[in-house]
Chains A and B, each alone.
Chain A
Amino acid sequence: QKEVEQNSGPLSVPEGAIASLNCTYSDRGSQSFFWYRQYSGKSPELIMFIYSNGDKEDGRFTAQLNKASQYVSLLIRDSQPSDSATYLCVVLGGGADGLTFGKGTHLIIQP
C-alpha cells in the first residue's frame, strides 16, 4: 500500500521565521509531488508541484525533492500569520492510481 507520511503537528513558527514542512513517501516509482494548503473548513488549493530532484522556488515558497531518500519538503520564508493552515503532501504514482494524500501538517504562525 502506498503511503505518504507527514508529522501532524501542530508546528508553531514565529512570524518572519522559516517554516519547514517535511514528507516521506513509500512508492519509489512516484513521479510527481504536490503541496496543497487547506484552511480550516475550506477545500485544498495547490501551492507548488515538483518533479525533479533539487529545489524549486516560487516567491516565499521552496519545494525540495530527494527521490533517493523518498523525501519532499516545503520551506516557507518570512512566515506570515496568513500562512497558518494545514499543508498536505500529495504524491502521484506512475500507474493508473489516483493521488495519495498525506494527512497534513498543521502549521501555526505566531504573530
Chain B
Amino acid sequence: GAGVSQSPSNKVTEKGKDVELRCDPISGHTALYWYRQSLGQGLEFLIYFQGNSAPDKSGLPSDRFSAERTGGSVSTLTIQRTQQEDSAVYLCASSYSRGDNEQFFGPGTRLTVL
C-alpha cells in the first residue's frame, strides 16, 4: 500500500481481555516503531524493530505488553489482561532505516478498555 496501515481502527474491550493490534508498514521500510498517545498527552515510545529484531524494548510499560514482527514486515502489538489505563491511541510508524530522516505514521488504533 501507499502508506502505513493499522488495524483495527477502533477497539473496545473489557478489562482483563487480551487485544492484538496490527501494523503493516510501508513496503521496504526496515524500521518499525510503536508509540502510545493517551488523551492530551505526548507520544510515548513503546518498542522499535529493525527487521525482525527488537533492539530496544525499553518503552514497554509492563510485561503485559509484547510485540513481534515477522518477515520484516507486519508487526503485532499484544496487550494481555488489559487495564483501563491502557486506553489510548496506539500509533505505528515506519522508516526506511533507523537513521532515516522521516518516520511515516499510520492512522492509529484507538483502544478503549471498559
Name the interface size band of chain B. 20 to 34
**A contact residues vs B (CB 8 Å cutoff):** 32, 34, 43-46, 49, 88, 92, 96-104
**Closest-CB distance, A32 to chain B (whole angstroms):** 8
Q: In the complex where A100-B45, A101-B42 touch, is A46 in contact with B102 (Cβ < 8 A)?
A: yes
Q: Kindly list chain B residues whose C-beta atoms are within 8 Å of the C-beta of A97.
A: 45, 56, 58
Q: In the complex where A98-B59, A101-B43, A103-B42 touch, is A45 in contact with B105 (Cβ < 8 A)?
A: yes
| 6 shortest interchain CB distances as A-B pairs | A103-B42, A43-B105, A101-B43, A98-B48, A98-B45, A46-B102
In whole angstroms, what is the CA distance A32 to B95 when docked? 15
| 8 A-B pairs (CB sep. < 8 Å) | A32-B99, A44-B43, A45-B105, A49-B101, A97-B56, A101-B35, A101-B42, A101-B43
In whole angstroms, what is the CA distance A92 to B41 when docked? 19
Contact of B103 with A99 in the complex, beta carbons under 8 Å: yes
Interface string of B76-114 (1 = CB under 8 A from A): 000000000000000100000001011101111000000
Question: Considering only CB atoms, which chain A residue lies closest to B48 in the complex?
Answer: A98
Q: In the complex where A43-B106, A44-B105, A45-B105 touch, is A88 in contact with B59 (Cβ < 8 A)?
A: no
Question: Considering only CB atoms, which chain B residue lies closest to A93 in the complex?
Answer: B56
Q: Kindly list chain B residues whose C-beta atoms are within 8 Å of the C-beta of A44.
A: 43, 91, 105
Q: Kindly list chain B residues whose C-beta atoms are within 8 Å of the C-beta of A43.
A: 91, 105-108
